[in-house]
Structure 1
Amino acid sequence: MNVITKSQASTKYSFSLVTRLRKLQQKSLEKQSFPISLLLFTHTHLIIPSIFAFRGTTIIIFFRHPQGEASFIIMARPTWVFLQLFTIFAFLHLGIAVSTENPLRQQELDRIAELPGQNFEVKFGHYSGYITVNEESGRALFYWFFEATEDSASKPLVLWLNGGPGCSSIAYGEAEEIGPFHINADGKPVYLNPYSWNEVANVLFLDSPAGVGFSYSNTSSDLMNNGDKRTAEDSLAFLLKWFERFPQFKGRDFYITGESYGGHYVPQLSQAIVRNNLLFKEKSINLKGYMVGNALFDDHHDHVGVFEFLWSTGLISDQTYKQLNLLCANQSFVHSSASCDEILEVADKEIGNIDHYSIFTPPCSEASSNRLRKRMHMIGRVGERYDPCTEKHSVAYFNLPEVQQALHVDPKFAPSKWETCSYLINGNWKDSAGSVLDIYRELIQAGLRIWVFSGDTDAVLPITSTRYSVDALKLPVIGSWRPWYDGGQVGGWIQEYEGVTLVSVRGAGHEVPLHQPKLALQLIKSFLAGNSLSPLQLHSDT
């Protein structure tokens, strides 16, 4: 058993205590004294007894913590039991942590047996839990991981990140986009998504930063001080520890994917990994590339693209179009001026009651109004099973106590009400890069495979924004603009540059896998394989 201490003196003390406990256990066994079973679950937090049980002359005391475990069985006479317990409490009070976390053991503790409302069997394992990314403040990020449906040992690992900032990757990415478990209209039961990306890869969903979804911090001020920089740092810390918990995936081909404000998260985390690999080769992550959809790239070019899309689709007036370009084109997407917000409200009234995230599909009646103005603060919202109210279903399901228990959510840190997006996080975002184009240039030079895709009915971060931002990279064109096909039908259009591939997805909104799940699965297959999307094979009519 490993004993982690804060000083040489406490190290000596801790080893002596462990030795004493072991001798005590052996001595009491020889004397056949009254038993006490003591389980110590320790990691980095204060340890307190959670269960006391008395069975005749047997006293059972349990100490629980979700991050690790150690165990002693002490055989003792009741007359001096509490003296020994006092010694243990003193040991813990000194800040000495007994750590025996076995990565594979913790991995198994994170395994999910079955979800409430799941009336079918699955042929893949899945896991969820916390990983502490900052010991001092107690920041811990929540994840949900799915093995590939077949041949998991040889498939790549894909991380999915939603944006916001402040929105849950589990709420969106897992429960309504690329995950295997989607939620029915009544919040229960779940059903199996036939277009889940774990058909082609092992898929990891991360709620980041702390304060989003089930991720938490023991330091309340953390929730008021999130930003791009710390999110990338914490996400890197998460991955390094996650690979320790799942060592079978070390060295596996690794890709990062996401959408919306994930247009910041994905390249920023990729940059952090590439730089960390150069500094610490023994902790390197085998990052091969990344892919982002309807992504925030560059505040200026993205704004110009949004306003052009709204005007060219006939959603706003000529005058409002001119004012938007005048007052907002050079503003931040996250921290905009009062004058910009005012003209956005004018544009919102002109657009009317439609879903800005997918302009040709019906809106959810309870959440459809005033969305253009909100998109400045919440960047992040038709397929065979399109439902405009999917967020409501997630809220109903993930607030069920039995669901949280199945997902290993610690009730001490669970939010009083789980939400798809945190307006507290979003409204207090501290740093947001005005552009990530320089990061793209750095990562192109690093040799990463980079694809950007865009649903063509999104008015929040539309295809026009993506095209303007990619054009600003000034990359040589290596493949002409052409349509790509799925089942003989146009799936979208593709343009290949030196270092970046741009793909549009026909008939999809802001969340491409929600609106066009089959096309999205074709997209990830081609990306992972490094193949261009299929051109049409023309056949004769005769």
Structure 2
Amino acid sequence: MASPARAQSLRYHPLFIILATLSLLQTVTAQDEQQAADRVFFLPGQPRSPQVSQFSGYIIVERHSGRALFYWFFEAQKLPSQKPLLLWLNGGPGCSSVGFGAASELGPLMINGSGTGLEFNKFAWNKEANLLFLESPVGVGFSYTNTSSDLDKLNDRIVAEDTYTFLVSWFKRFPQYKNHEFYISGESYAGHYVPQLAEVVYERNKHLETNQQINLKGFIVGNAETNDYYDYKGLVEFAWSHSVISDLLYERVNSICDFRLSSWTKECKHVMASVYTQYDKIDIYNVYAPKCNTEESAQLSTSNSTPDLNAKRRLRRIRMYSGYNPCYSTYIEDYMNRMDVQKSLHANISGWIKDRRWSVCSYSIFDNYDNSVFSVLPIYSKLVKAGLRIWVYSGDVDGRVPFIGSRYCVEALGLAVKSQWQPWYLSNQVAGRFVEYEGLTMATVRGAGHAVPQDKPAESLVLIGSFLAGRQLPIGNN
């Protein structure tokens, strides 16, 4: 074995330097080739202008079992080298961030109302950031595993670990973004995914050299499941305060259900089934929007099912998009199941979904997912103390994860108030309201449902721009 002095001298030997340089060049070339292979040049039905710089493909997160996660990445529209990197996650658990977040909420290319092509989204969030969408966990969308038993043991911890592994490998494939400010975002059950991933990144960074760390700066979540007690308390109070349920049913729920318990009693399940029944004729995800009345959605509330099963189905039901076309998700599936689309996206390369349709949400993932984490509020407390930028926002007409429950969650943190509850504005109109705490901002978006960027795209762009810039929401008429 060479002495330390001998080893040091070898490091500066010309041959050593040449070999090290060749090794580095090979690594860089391999990275460039992988990145180039993932570039998406053009998608079927994509508008010719403006140009969109996009990539998509797979990252293997566990070689032994063959787990791979699918991503879709859009560079910022201007100065991508100077913009932060924003990861977006949809919830469910079991719903696709590619189908929802990217293609119908905040990405630059939106599936049109017939499912035949794409439209450019002038309110896309990649105006403010480089935008990364991830289908997670395995079994969702195009993400897959070669070991079927993986799908029977999914939980928040596994999702966080797989996503962290994905990020480490993705940064190796896209090293130009390694030092960019990194933020995590998402909605609905991603209220669990996002803070738990942030915690994993934060803890791993403690044991890594600076040049190996992920440059995590904060996270933002919308209509986010956070704490079961406050979320379900808020759900019931919203239904009552928005005239969805009667005084009598509201009183019955309050007398029968204790949402502090991780498992509901049979009586509580029954009375909560009655609450969900009231949403059969309206959209729980936006109580003032048209209801999607397709045959598929009607099957979710069939009278041949038990109340408990109906309640479970209503808890998991697919987001039927509201607005001009309340049945929008069917068009997402029509587009994503086209072979020419999948080929252009480098998706389904293993042919693993050849025996089934790609779907916006997977019932099997939802049914088998272990969602036993009751609250992520302790993670909030930890990461607030760590100095991360944290925002929570809510569309104020969502009945599934209402702003009432989110307010309870934020208030439970016991943070000092920095600026009181007040309106924020867009185009001389109140766009929502917000309150600033020491270490956290909570905002509402007026007239938006569960999917804020889809319902209120202009307001959501102001929201994400303010968050990423670390500035207060606009408080004067503008």
TM-score, structure 1 as length reference: 0.78
Matches within 5 A, 1:119-518: 119-281=47-209, 282-330=211-259, 336=264, 338-366=266-294, 367=297, 370=301, 373-377=312-316, 386-415=324-353, 416-518=356-458
1:113 and 1:458 map into 2 onto residues whose CA distance is 37
- Cα contact 1:224–1:424 (8 A) shared by 2: no
2:135 and 2:57 map into 1 onto residues whose CA distance is 11
Which residue identity lines up with residue 405 of structure 1 in the other structure? K
- Cα contact 2:220–2:391 (8 A) shared by 1: yes
SS of the counterpart of 2:290? coil
2:264 and 2:320 map into 1 onto residues whose CA distance is 20
How many angstroms does 1:337 deviate by? 5.0
Matched-pair identity in %: 45
- Cα contact 2:425–2:432 (8 A) shared by 1: yes
Task: Give the superposed CA RMSD.
Answer: 2.1
Structure 1 residues 225, 101: CA separation in 2 closer, same or farther (over 3 Å shift)? farther
Map of 2:44 onto structure 1: 116
Structure 1 residues 332, 405: CA separation in 2 closer, same or farther (over 3 Å shift)? farther
Which residue identity lines up with residue 44 of structure 2 in the other structure? P
- Cα contact 1:163–1:379 (8 A) shared by 2: no
Which structure 2 segments of 5+ residues have no match? Answer: 1-25, 302-309
2:358 and 2:264 map into 1 onto residues whose CA distance is 28
SS of the counterpart of 1:513? helix
SS of the counterpart of 2:414? coil
CA deviation map 1:318-348 (0-9, x unaligned): 2221232344442678x75543332222123
Q: Which shifted more, 388-397 or 364-373?
A: 364-373
- Cα contact 2:321–2:328 (8 A) shared by 1: no
1:332 and 1:419 map into 2 onto residues whose CA distance is 33
SS of the counterpart of 2:81? coil
Which residue identity lines up with residue 340 of structure 1 in the other structure? C
Which residue identity lines up with residue 422 of structure 1 in the other structure? S
CA deviation map 1:216-239 (0-9, x unaligned): 001000111111010000000000
Structure showing greater Rg: 1
CA deviation map 1:69-91 (0-9, x unaligned): x9xxxxxxxxxxxxxxxxxxxxx
- Cα contact 2:333–2:359 (8 A) shared by 1: yes
SS of the counterpart of 2:462? helix
Which residue identity lines up with residue 530 of structure 1 in the other structure? G
Map of 1:58 onto structure 2: none
- Higher RCO (CA 8 Å, separation ≥ 6 residues): 2
How many angstroms does 1:280 deviate by? 1.8
2:256 and 2:51 map into 1 onto residues whose CA distance is 54
CA deviation map 1:181-232 (0-9, x unaligned): 1112221111111110011110000000100010000100011111101000
Which structure 1 segments of 5+ residues have no match? Answer: 1-69, 71-98
Which residue identity lines up with residue 506 of structure 1 in the other structure? R
Aligned length: 439
SS of the counterpart of 2:443? strand
- Cα contact 1:341–1:373 (8 A) shared by 2: no
CA deviation map 1:272-315 (0-9, x unaligned): 00001001234210011100000001000111111111011111
Structure 1 residues 382, 424: CA separation in 2 closer, same or farther (over 3 Å shift)? closer
How many angstroms does 1:117 deviate by? 1.1
